[in-house]
């Protein structure tokens, strides 16, 4: 088996979808998992998620689920024909493409990401002025519990904390 060393930091073309490039980074402080606007994915951040194949039960977001989410978002954006520098058109498409990414992520993870809870959660606003450099994701697990995922923002050393919360 061949072993490869990935330089840190690195930026390479991850994939060419419909003749447009998706950039891959490792542990970028400027890319939190993925950036729809910048057509970028941070593989270092994705690796910090638990894997479906881990001995522990799958909880919340998984590396596989996050990766498919980011790739589906980029695929939907790029097949739309929106130009790489057309910020307004990207903004207009984001909610639909993000939901397509969530739908794919749900299928891979076997749970349901609760986007509506994320949008109303007071804690989901990254607020550096008030010392809240985190954002939150919520998942309904197979056993019907709700799992909260707290993710540090804009950090080369992303931290992911998960806990079951009351409904």
pLDDT digits (tens, 9 = 90+) for 23-75: 899 999 889 999 999 999 999 999 999 998 886 666 889 999 999 999 999 99
- pLDDT, residue 34, reads 93
Would you say residue 95 has pLDDT above 90?
yes
- pLDDT, residue 120, reads 56
Task: Tell me if 6 is assigned to some domain.
Answer: no
Could you tell me which residues are beta bridge partners of residue 17? 20
For residues 86-100, give the mean pLDDT.
Answer: 94
Cβ atoms within 10 Å, residue 50: 19
Token pair, residue 4, equals: 């490869």
Task: Tell me if 1 is assigned to some domain.
Answer: no
Task: Tell me if 3 is assigned to some domain.
Answer: no
- pLDDT, residue 6, reads 44
Kindly report the average pLDDT of the chain as a whole number.
83
Q: Measured between alpha carbons, how far is 33 from 63 in angstroms, rounded to an integer?
A: 10
Helix/strand/coil for 142: coil
- Of all residues in the chain, what percent carry a pLDDT higher than 70? 78
Number of structural domains, the chain? 1
Would you say residue 7 has pLDDT above 90?
no
Query: pTM of the full predicted structure?
Result: 0.84
Q: Measured between alpha carbons, how far is 161 from 163 in angstroms, rounded to an integer?
A: 7
Q: Which domain holds residue 40?
A: 11-165
């Amino acid at each position: 088996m061949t072993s490869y060393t990935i330089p840190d930091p690195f930026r390479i073309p991850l994939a060419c979808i419909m003749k447009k490039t998706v950039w891959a980074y490792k542990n970028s402080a400027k890319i939190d998992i993925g950036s729809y606007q910048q057509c970028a994915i941070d593989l270092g951040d994705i690796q910090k998620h638990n894997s479906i194949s881990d001995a522990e039960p799958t909880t919340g977001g998984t590396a596989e689920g996050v990766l498919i989410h980011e790739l589906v978002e980029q695929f939907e954006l790029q097949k739309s024909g929106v130009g790489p520098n057309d910020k307004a058109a990207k903004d207009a498409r984001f909610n639909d493409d993000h939901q397509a990414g969530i739908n794919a992520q749900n299928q891979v993870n076997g749970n349901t990401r609760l986007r509506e809870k994320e949008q109303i959660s007071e804690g989901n606003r990254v607020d550096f002025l008030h010392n809240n450099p985190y954002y939150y994701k919520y998942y309904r697990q197979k056993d019907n519990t709700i799992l909260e995922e707290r993710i540090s923002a804009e950090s080369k050393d992303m931290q992911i904390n998960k806990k079951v919360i009351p409904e």
